[in-house]
Amino acid sequence: METLAATGAGRAPELTDEEVVRRVRAGETALFEVIMRRYNRRLYRAARAIVGPDEAEDVMQETYVRAYAHLDQFAGHARFATWLTRIAVHEALGRARRAGRFTDDADGTIEDALNASPGSSPERRTATRQLVGFLETAIEALPTPYRAVFVLRAVEELSTSETAACLSIPEETVKTRLYRARRLLQAALARQVDGAVREAFDFGLARCDRVVARVLARLIALEPKPPATCRGRRDGGGQT
């Protein structure tokens, strides 16, 4: 394969997908790197919605190899991005089904999923990372059919028709699964928030000790001082 420098592919971001495909098919094979860098994140997310993180990378590699080998089959009836994503989804689904990890019928798992356990300033960045962690844990806990739809529709922002095409399901099914995925996520995140709320404004032992010590000091200062004793005479010890 030619190098990027030899073809000027490094200056190709402005090219459309279709133009890149046309030029790759015409012999500028190094331009295929433009496609990979353009869609790495989308394909990872699409695959990750169905399989684990390590296997998702395998799915990506297989997707690119298959797409490259079958570029002549891209007829332009759909967007190239949809065509490529569909290859990735089918590859991931095939792996998941062979491993017995995927079923198209998720209706019976809704209540189980609802009850399942899922996980600027430096403070703001920390809070954002925690929120992202909550979301990833909640998305990971979704039944796979719902997770696949949610990632494609909400995360990658594919249209309903594009998502339906990628997953080979009716558009109404996409809408139903997206609705149910959001319901499950809302319930999961509510549980996460409830747990976090109980830990908010924590009153630790050190602070408790400090407050107690200060209050005791103030209370001691408020106590009346004992009266001064008389030293002049002793009871019954003198004459009038």
Q: Each residue of 93-127: pLDDT tens digit? A: 888 888 765 555 444 443 444 344 444 555 555 65
- 39 with 97, same domain: the answer is yes
Does the predicted model carry a pTM greater than 0.75? no
Position 204 confidence tier, pLDDT thresholds 50, 70, 90: low
Q: Is residue 113 part of a domain?
A: yes
Ramachandran area for residue 236 (φ above 0: left; ψ -120 to 50: alpha; else beta): left
Q: Is residue 24 part of a domain?
A: yes
Last residue of a domain, one of 56, 72, 102: 102
- 30 with 14, same domain: the answer is yes
Q: Is residue 78 part of a domain?
A: yes
Range of the domain at 194: 104-199
- 72 with 24, same domain: the answer is yes
Distance of CA 86 to the CA centre of its chain: 22
- 187: CATH: 1.10.10.10
Q: Is residue 240 part of a domain?
A: no
- Give the number of other Cβ atoms within 10 Å of residue 45's Cβ: 16
> What percent of the chain is predicted at pLDDT more than 70?
64
> What percent of the chain is predicted at pLDDT more than 90?
25
Domain count for the chain, please give it.
2
Q: Is residue 223 part of a domain?
A: no
